[in-house]
Amino acid sequence: MSEKKKIILGISAYYHDSAAVILIDGKIVAAAQEERFTRKKHDPAFPKNAVRYVLEEAGVTMEDLTAVSFYDKPFIKFERLLETYHAFAPSGITSFLAAMPVWIKEKLFLRKILRDEFEKVTDIALPKKTPILFPEHHLSHAASAFYPSPFEDAAILTVDGVGEWTTTGIFHGKGKDITALKELHFPHSLGLLYSAFTYYCGFKVNSGEYKLMGLAPYGHPKSERVEKYKKLIYQDLIDVREDGSLLLNMEYFNFATELEMCDDEKWNKLFSLPRRKPEDELTEEYMDMALAIQEVTEEIVILLARTAKKLTGSKNICLAGGVALNCVANGKLHKTGIFENIWIQPAAGDAGGALGAAYAAYHIFLKQDRRVSGDGRDAMQGSYLGPEFSSPEILRTARKYEAVSHYVADFDTLAKRAADLLSEGKVVGWFQGRMEWGPRALGARSILGDPRNADMQKRLNLKIKFREGFRPFAPSVLAEESEKYFDSDIASPYMLFVFPVKENRRKIIPATAKGLYERLYVSRSDLPCITHIDYSARVQTVHKETNERYWKLIDAFREKTGYGLVVNTSFNVRGEPIVCTPEDAYRCFMATDMDALVMGDYIFLKEEQPGEQKDFQNTYEAD
């Protein structure tokens, strides 16, 4: 008789980026973030839609589950809160009174709440005998980084804001085992330090960090101001040790007791620069500040990686935690050559904790063996792990909106049509197959453009995404062609590395171009739309074996233009989660300046569509 399948449901919820994952016998069957269903960015609520979806996709019910695994330990988090409030008392009383009711009413009773929610969502109760497990937050991150990686043995580095107590962890992954080696504890956190600068530069904490990273290249490297800011950070804000551990000077930070990140007055005095308000102009001082903290972050990540190397002796490293989404730091880490190979969980933030929790339950709690593919491929299946929609479902949306569409039976013809549109300077919405897992659009829910087009960045930012003009765009390049355009020797299928654009493709930025927008709209290479101001690009390498349709589209574009890459940005407007359903996609298409939408086997051309929706972008709060 064959052994019963081991089916694990992984959950992350109640902080930000709720998500659900289902793992069957160690294989990821489905994974999705709740925000994609509720259309509420970073939705922290119990992921009822995501749970419903992953169970349906796997064809199982609550009764079939071997275990449920939640991505952190609520009691230890509660311990941290009580001890922190106690340590800082009486300051923090307001935050204490605000935080306690939700803990006393809900979070402390998480096991019961989860059981109740499962029953509400699926109408089937989780059997009493099915265990609900609570692996530690950073163990969940470490598991999400190591278990799906292509490595048998690897150092694991997890860096984020905070989990229970841990803010940074170094682990050693070997076969099916993960051993914790070193931890750094709250309030001393690299993630929270970066978030404090995100807040101070006028962006939203927990979502604006990547904007700060995108702003950094506009700073002036090695300039007096950047060096001064860096010196102040090292001297007054943090104490960094040789092993990469750091102490924050809590005189300057309020996050432990207040509902804000830092003491504005003290920071203003220290940097001689007031906190920027969200929609204020981005002056050179803030660009230099962004560069200073970016460089400090990179330096600390490299020190941590050196420590991980020393402790494990491994030639491989896996990364997860919110800081692992800092693709500039990842690129620099790769360049140091400390590790031969580097692999990063595409959902490195808290959503990925659901996957790690499920993996931890499977390999650690259930002691199941781990099989590595052996051909260098990871277990993420290109990160296309979300819902997929059939032609009848697409047609239903078309009918609902009385949309005009063209059916193209042969995919090669469809890819050629889309490539033609792109080469004519048109912006194309691309909706194909299963939705991506993680914060990046990887060619399943993407908006595409021609990277050679000098006006594309401005058009995409201001008329399609309705977001800040300085934000850079990323290229999706045929894996086989990547080295033609970028100085890179590794694959970057999840858009988690920044590589320099080849020198022979660069153009000199005239010294007369000084302000942000003057520098922004100068052509920097023969691929102006994806070349950032420092000649870098956040690259996605596209592989035929994980996304054949997307690969074929880019290949058709290559045949037409000679360039094997396209601009790829997520299919959404500012503040909106990436589209999930055909209806989300059509509404976004109609509300923006997009020219065409290629959804499944159908092409929708803007000029043929009836009516035009207005002010769609105002539906979503700016992030």
Partner 1 sequence: MEFLHDIWGFLKTRKKFWLLPAIVVLLVFGGLIVFSSGSAIAPFIYTVF
What CA–CA distance (Å, rounded) separates 257 from 92?
4
Question: Which residue is associated with the tokens 């000679």?
Answer: 562
Instruction: Estimate the crossing angle of helix 48-58 against helix 110-122, to 10 degrees.
Output: 60
Binds partner 1 (CB under 8 A): choice among 45, 60, 100, 181: 100
The least distance separating partner 1 from the CB of residue 107, rounded to whole angstroms, comes to 11
The least distance separating partner 1 from the CB of residue 170, rounded to whole angstroms, comes to 22
What CA–CA distance (Å, rounded) separates 433 from 345?
21
The least distance separating partner 1 from the CB of residue 248, rounded to whole angstroms, comes to 24
Q: Does 108 bind partner 1 (CB under 8 A)?
A: yes
- State which amino acid sits at residue 422: L
Q: Does 119 bind partner 1 (CB under 8 A)?
A: no
**Whose Cβ is closer to partner 1: residue 125's or residue 605's?**
125
**Whose Cβ is closer to partner 1: residue 82's or residue 247's?**
82
Angle at 607 between CA 605 and CA 611, to 5 degrees: 110
Q: Which of residues 36-75 bind partner 1 (CB under 8 A)?
A: 75
DSSP state at residue 253: B
Q: Does 79 bind partner 1 (CB under 8 A)?
A: yes
DSSP state at residue 218: G
Binds partner 1 (CB under 8 A): choice among 82, 124, 259, 454: 82
Q: Does 111 bind partner 1 (CB under 8 A)?
A: yes
Q: How far is CA 402 from CA 293, 342, 589, 601, 608, in A?
A: 50, 48, 14, 17, 11
**Whose Cβ is closer to partner 1: residue 75's or residue 517's?**
75
Binds partner 1 (CB under 8 A): choice among 101, 337, 610, 611: 101
**Whose Cβ is closer to partner 1: residue 105's or residue 400's?**
105
The least distance separating partner 1 from the CB of residue 83, rounded to whole angstroms, comes to 8
**Whose Cβ is closer to partner 1: residue 35's or residue 164's?**
164
Q: Does 395 bind partner 1 (CB under 8 A)?
A: no
**Which of 1-9, 33-41, 77-85, 530-538 is the region at the interface with partner 1 (rule: CB under 8 A)?**
77-85
Binds partner 1 (CB under 8 A): choice among 109, 252, 411, 620: 109
Q: Show the tokens assigned to 179.
A: 């051993």
CA dihedral sign, ordered 463, 468, 471, 476: negative
What CA–CA distance (Å, rounded) separates 331 from 343?
11
Q: Does 112 bind partner 1 (CB under 8 A)?
A: yes
| Nearest alpha-carbon partner for 497 in 329, 295, 318, 316 | 329
Number of residues that bind partner 1 (CB under 8 A): 15
DSSP state at residue 237: I
**Whose Cβ is closer to partner 1: residue 108's or residue 490's?**
108
The least distance separating partner 1 from the CB of residue 89, rounded to whole angstroms, comes to 12
Q: Does 76 bind partner 1 (CB under 8 A)?
A: yes
What CA–CA distance (Å, rounded) separates 483 from 314?
27
Q: Which of residues 593-612 bind partner 1 (CB under 8 A)?
A: none
Angle at 505 between CA 568 and CA 342, to 5 degrees: 55
Q: How many CA atoms lie within 13 A of 134 on its CB side?
A: 15
Burial class (CB within 10 angstroms; exposed 0-12, middle 13-18, buried 19+) of 567: buried
Say which residues have a Cβ less than 8 Å from residue 538's Cβ, sequence separation at least 6.
327, 472, 474, 475, 495, 497, 498, 532
The least distance separating partner 1 from the CB of residue 182, rounded to whole angstroms, comes to 19
- Residue ranges binding partner 1 (CB under 8 A): 75-76, 79, 82-83, 86, 100-101, 103-105, 108-109, 111-112
